[in-house]
Each structure stands twice: as C-alpha cells, then as structure tokens.
A and B are shown apart, each in its own frame.
Chain A
Amino acid sequence: MSIEQFDAAIIGAGAGGGVVAMELAAAGLRVVLFDRGRHFAESDFGHDELADSQEPWNRSGLRFGPGPTEVRTYRSDPDQPARVVSPREYEYSSLAWCVGGGTLSYQALAWRFHPGTFRLKSLYGAIPKSTVEDYPLTYEELEPYYAKAEYELGVCGEPYGPPRSKPYPMPPQPDNKEAETLFPAARRLGWKPFHPPLAITSQEYRGRPACIRCANCLSYGCEVSAKSSTAVTVIPEAIKTGLCVLRPQTFVREITVDASGWPTGVVFRDASGHWQELRAKVIVVSASATESPRLLLNSKSKWFPDGIGNRYDQVGRHVHEDKAAAVFGFFDKVVGDALGPGPSYAAEFQFDQAGVPPGGVMYNSFSRLPLRVVNTVPRPEGVTSWGRKFKDFYRRYFWNHIRLYYSVHGFPREGNRVDVDPEVRDAYGVRVSRITHRTHAWNARQQEWFVTRVEALLREAGAAFTIHGRIVSEHAGGIGQHQCGSCRMGADPKNSVADRTGRVHDVPNVFIADASLMTNAGGSNPSLTIQGLAFWVSEHIVRGWKGGGLRG
C-alpha cells in the first residue's frame, strides 16, 4: 500500500490546530488534521449534569475525553518519585481530547493579553526561581492577529485595556442579574467595569444563531453552535475548501525523519486501530502543552537522539499557567438568575497596581447548575457537609450567591516540566507525559491582593459574608486547562524551543501552534492568544511555503 502524502500534517484539532488548518487550506495546501478524540455534533450535546459535562462528577468520565483508561504521571519536584494519575485527578492536568479541543466545552472567555505580558522580563527583571523571558514578539505585532481571531472565530464584547485596531464584531451579551448587582458596586468603588469578551454569539453571526442564554456553557458542548469553538468555525471552513481532511480518533505517536534528518511525516494509529505512516512536507504540532512535548520527545532518531526540538533540553520546560481562583459572596437577597452564558462583569488590574506584579482580571460566574453548586460552592464554618444545615444552606443561597473569579499571571517556575515518563506507557506502548509542577511563589502574592479587592466588591454589592479558598504558596498540584509555555517561543535556542514564527529551532519544517508556544501566561484565559498566535504562525508557514523553503 502506498503511503499517503500531504503538504501539511497538523496534530491536534484544538484552539490552535483548527486555525492553522483553515489558514493553510485557504492558501492551497493539502492538509490532514489529526485529533486523538471524537468529532462531536450538536446532537451529541445535552444538559444532564451526570452525563453531558466535562466535570469530574460525570458518571461516565470526562465527556469530551481523555478516557478513563488514559494515564500520566505526576510529581511536585524533580527529586520526587512520580505517581500514576488518571484523568479524574487534578494532577493529570487534563484538557479535552476532541475536535475543537478545550474550545468545545470552555466558558469561551476571549481576552487579549495585556501588552506588558509580552515584556515580563524587561519589566520585572530576573524573577526569583523563575525562568521568565520576554516574548520574541510584541503586542503591537500580534494585535492584527488578535483582531483576525476575534472576527474569524466570532467574539462579542466591548473595548477594554489593550489597544485595538477594530471594534468587536459583536456587542456584549445582555446583562444578567449578577451584572445588575456588580456594575453599580464596582463603579462606586471607582473601578471601570466592562462586559467580558466572550467567544459566543450575541447576535446571528456567519450563519450561526445568537446564544440562547442557557446556563450550560462551561463544561458542555453548545447544542446551537453559538459557542465559537474551532469545531464549528475554522475547522468547517477548512474542510469546505476541499483541501483539508479531518482524522478524528487518530493518535499520532511520532514524527518521522529521513536518512538526512529531515522530518518527513508521522506515524499514527487510525480510528480502526491500525498503525500507519503518512508523509507531510510541513508538520504542525498543536496537541496541547502537555501532549505536544510528549510527541516531540517520543520522536527520537539518530539525528534527534533526545527528541525533535530538544537539542538544548528545552522541550517541556517552562510549563506554567495563569492562576484562577474564586471568591464567593453570600447575600440576603436574590442576586442570580438562570440566564447564561454566565460571565457578565469584568474588571482589569494589570501592571499599574502597586504591590501586585503584574496582576490580572476579575470576572463573575460560572454556571449556576445544582450539582455544580453543591460540589463547588464552599460552606461557612458550622455548616456541616450533610444534613439539615447543609440542605438549608444551599437552598437559602442557591440564588443568593455570586461567584467571582480572579485570574493572575503565572510564571515559569524552575524545575517545572512536562517530559515523558521513563517507565510508564499507555495502552499502545507509548511513553506517557510526566508532569513536574508547582506554582510560582508570586502567584500567592497576587492572589492575596486580589482576594481583598474581590471581597471589597462583594461587600459593596451587599454581600452579608464572603468565603474564599486557602491560598498556598508554591502549591504542589497539576497544571490546569490554561497550561502553556512547554515549547515556548524565544530568540535564544538555549532557552526556548521555537523561534518567533513558531518554527522549531534548527528544524525548518516543524512548527508549534498551541499554548505550548506561549512564552508567558497572561493574567487571563489563554484561548484567544493561542488563536492569535496560530494565525501568526500560519502566515509564516504560508510565506515559507510560497517561498519554496518548506517543500522538502
């Protein structure tokens, strides 16, 4: 049987890979887009808390993957032994495995990073115990690609901090009851609240209907495709060109190289369980910050004895995330309703606040679904975890509480890494990702600062009392869904994996196009930055293709 040939193979159909597929196919390249998980349709989505969500309490396991038999290993520090963890454990650091990736079941907050994010080292110098660097590109260079992502994906919102060249393509969602409570209180405090940017339609947009305002955004698929996941936006556009083949439920094991060390394609396990090879002139790795390093490190040859892109032992290092946490306010009046999408209030505190470098953003919600409420809304001291007091508390405060999140900048901490476990393999015999992770000490400082601000807002809004989680400095645990930085872009091959165009240093036809590429997590959700960078990387791939340098 002859081996299939494509111009480009994209591994991972999530936030980044979907964008690259559309851009390369639109430029005339023949593209194969792989994803490890399923390709879900609108008819697959429902509102059952026990069956349809990505939450750990789903009775069938995570709805959008990874499946319950997958494993990774985790350790807090490099000198500790790693233990095997499953997707139900936080240490697994899961992100949905499906076409659309995390964008299928995310809350769709679509922030632009503050311009200072791109210059963290210049602004703060060498941060203790951190390997922080500046991005090798500026906010001003990325701005047109942010705008393109907002229009191609479909984002609603109103302008806030970062300078912008175009207005949002859609106005914000209508206010819900929480917005009516929080906006006046924030203004009384002298803040400048705004409606958060959401990759959700607020009006009919490019053939998709306006959001129906159900409460099932976070952790659910959208049954009307109002949520602008890559699965219903850029990926269908890529397929429409006739040049993009989508291969769901297909696991890519390694990137192959020829006798001269030139990457030539991939080895994959197809949906029917057969291992195959495929040739591609350009290879784009976009499998997430925990799976992309695994693929590169498992791609060993005499030319790349430690894995592709790992000449300076950088693949998987610098992995980190922004740190988000919640503060809850409890009121003597009804302050909530059942109207989605949820986030309806935001405020930004970045780079200009004394004592809190660099800061982050604040926003309300998420969905007020009953099992989620009893599983995640904390109780004050004296309220038991079961019985009459328990029941009375949740009955009394179900509609009378507000969940406010803050998200602060993360920093690449020395010692943190995603690599491959030397011993543990998956069901196919492929070595799994090993996570080594603690949060950086600056996370806790920023969190403490934010908690006082959030509590002030909730009190101003009339909260009778507030509760927040314990803040732990250098917290040992997994990396959340905002995982990033594990194949970061940088000018120096000795402390980064890819150059400013996303191309792996010293490997002309392999590119990174997911959160792995992000040099620094902004103090907010990363999806729009992943997508802006994916448009940026795509443009450079197309330019290189047309120039003839990528044709092998």
Chain B
Amino acid sequence: MSEGLPISDEQRGMVRREFLHRCAICAGVAAFPSAWAGLAVAAQHAHGTQAATPTAPVAFKYLTPEQAASIEAITEQIIPADEDPGAKWAGVVHYIDLGLAGDLKEYRPVYEAGLKRLATLTREVSTQSFAELEFATQTKILDNLEQDDTREDTGASGREFFQLVRRHTMKASSAIPSTAATAR
C-alpha cells in the first residue's frame, strides 16, 4: 500500500517558498520556530494550492462537499487553530481526499461507514450537519465517536474511523516533507 500524493512542480515551488517564508517569520519571533506553526505549513505538500491562493476553492477528487466539510471539521477538532494554525488551515482534508482518490483507496469503506456513524450521532443531538455545529458540540460528539463500537451495516466502527482520521491528520499536519519525496 502506498500513500503517495501527486503534486506539480509549480505547487512544489509554492509550498517550498511558503515554508521558508514561515520559518523565517517564526525564527524572528523566537529562538526556535513554534513546532506547529512551522509544521502545519509543511503539510501543504498534500495539496499545495492553499498557500498561494488561500481563498480559491479547491475541487475535491473523491469526497462530496458534504463529506469534505465533515472531515475538515473533524480534523480541525483534532488539531484546532489557536494562536497557531490548525488542520483546516493546513488543508488536511485535501491530503485525505487525494489519498482516498488514489493510494489510500483501501480506506474508503472505513471513511464511508464512519461518516454514516458520525451522521447518526449528530442526529441524536441536532438537525444540523456536523460541520455546522458549534465547536463545543462537535467536541462532545467526537468524544462519543472515539468510544463508539457500533458498526453501520458491516463497516468500520466509529472508534476505528476516528482513529484513522486522527492518524491521517497527524501525518498531514506534522510530518516534514521534502521536495525530493513529493516528486516520487
């Protein structure tokens, strides 16, 4: 199984410039760059476009807009923005989307089943979608999802789904990339 993600030379250049720029800013603030500030930028190799055009919509390759909104909200719960950027800013949902469209396709059933479980747990507390809820309400639902062993049909449990999203969020938000690696 491979989790390789495609990225163009142009995107790679933008990511690299942005990364160096951010590191320079951080170095000016403190002796060492704040871990997450520098690292979140690093994850942009997953999609590469956000740094250059932060307001431009990015098309999803696999997820529906509703699914993407839910997953983005989960990832932002896992690494929330505060004085440093969070998972949304880092574009973690794009890492997941591109992965599910390609080399992470084996995880599609887990995401499908997990999103169904999330919708069920959300309906128990609100008529709104998960992404539309207040941050604190989302947190409570994820607290339940993290402990949830119920399976929708024969798919993955809520717990398995949450752990997978957490794992992918850690990879996409904290791993240091290199241009050599993303070229492979």
Q: Are chains A and B native binding partners rather than an unrelated pairing?
A: yes
Query: Among the interface residues A48, A50, A334, A338, which one has the most CB atoms of the partner chain B within 10 A?
Result: A50
Does residue B4 face the partner (Cβ distance < 8 Å to A)? yes
**In chain A, what residue has the closest Cβ to B81?**
A391
Bound state CA distance, A373 and B82, in angstroms?
20
Interface pair B170/A374, CB less than 8 Å apart: yes
Q: Which of the 9-residue segments B14-22, B51-59, B174-182 touches chain A?
A: B174-182
Interface pair B36/A399, CB less than 8 Å apart: no
Bound state CA distance, A30 and B174, in angstroms?
49
Q: In the complex, what residues of B have CB within 8 A of residue A52's CB?
A: 178, 180-181
Q: In the complex, what residues of B have CB within 8 A of residue A370's CB?
A: 35, 39, 42, 174-176
Given contacts A370-B175, A374-B174, A387-B139, contact A50 B3 (CB under 8 A): yes
Q: In the complex, what residues of B have CB within 8 A of residue A189's CB?
A: none
A61, A369, A388, A398: which contacts B176 (Cβ < 8 A)? A369
Interface pair B175/A371, CB less than 8 Å apart: yes
A59, A385, A395: which contacts B35 (Cβ < 8 A)? A395
Does residue A80 face the partner (Cβ distance < 8 Å to B)? no
Bound state CA distance, A60 and B1, in angstroms?
6
Bound state CA distance, A4 and B112, in angstroms?
56
Interface pair A61/B178, CB less than 8 Å apart: no
Using an 8 Å CB-CB cutoff, how does the interface string of B17-54 with A read, 1 for contact, 0 for none?
Answer: 00000000000000110111001001000000000000
**In chain A, what residue has the closest Cβ to B80?**
A388
Using an 8 Å CB-CB cutoff, how does the interface string of A145-163 with B read, 1 for contact, 0 for none?
Answer: 0000000000000000000
Bound state CA distance, A142 and B4, in angstroms?
47
Using an 8 Å CB-CB cutoff, how does the interface string of A220-251 with B read, 1 for contact, 0 for none?
Answer: 00000000000000000000000000000000
Contacts of A318-340 to chain B: CB distance below 8 A:
334, 337-338
Bound state CA distance, A47 and B45, in angstroms?
14
Does residue B113 face the partner (Cβ distance < 8 Å to A)? no
Does residue B78 face the partner (Cβ distance < 8 Å to A)? yes
**In chain A, what residue has the closest Cβ to B32?**
A399
Does residue A51 face the partner (Cβ distance < 8 Å to B)? yes
Interface pair B177/A50, CB less than 8 Å apart: yes
Does residue A46 face the partner (Cβ distance < 8 Å to B)? yes
Interface pair B180/A59, CB less than 8 Å apart: no
Given contacts A334-B31, A385-B166, A395-B35, contact A59 B2 (CB under 8 A): yes
Interface size class of B (residues with CB under 8 A): 35 or more
Q: In the complex, what residues of B have CB within 8 A of residue A337's CB?
A: 32
Given contacts A61-B1, A334-B32, contact A51 B181 (CB under 8 A): yes
Bound state CA distance, A388 and B139, in angstroms?
11
**In chain B, what residue has the closest Cβ to A51?**
B181
Q: In the complex, what residues of B have CB within 8 A of residue A386's CB?
A: 77-79, 142, 166, 169
**In chain A, what residue has the closest Cβ to B86?**
A391
Interface pair A394/B3, CB less than 8 Å apart: no
Interface pair B184/A51, CB less than 8 Å apart: yes
Does residue A49 face the partner (Cβ distance < 8 Å to B)? yes
Q: In the complex, what residues of B have CB within 8 A of residue A387's CB?
A: 77-78, 80, 139
Q: In the complex, what residues of B have CB within 8 A of residue A394's CB?
A: 35-36
Interface pair A391/B2, CB less than 8 Å apart: no
Given contacts A370-B174, A371-B171, A387-B77, contact A48 B181 (CB under 8 A): yes
List 23 contacting pairs A-B, 8 Å CB cutoff, sorted by A: A47-B178, A48-B177, A48-B182, A49-B171, A49-B175, A50-B3, A51-B184, A52-B181, A59-B103, A60-B1, A60-B3, A338-B32, A370-B42, A370-B175, A370-B176, A373-B174, A375-B170, A387-B77, A387-B139, A391-B80, A394-B35, A395-B35, A395-B84
Chain A positions near chain B (C-beta within 8 angstroms): 46-52, 57, 59-61, 68, 334, 337-338, 369-371, 373-375, 385-388, 390-392, 394-395, 398-399
Q: A50-B3, A60-B2, A60-B3 are in contact. List 4 more A-B contacts (CB 8 A).
A: A60-B1, A386-B78, A388-B80, A390-B79
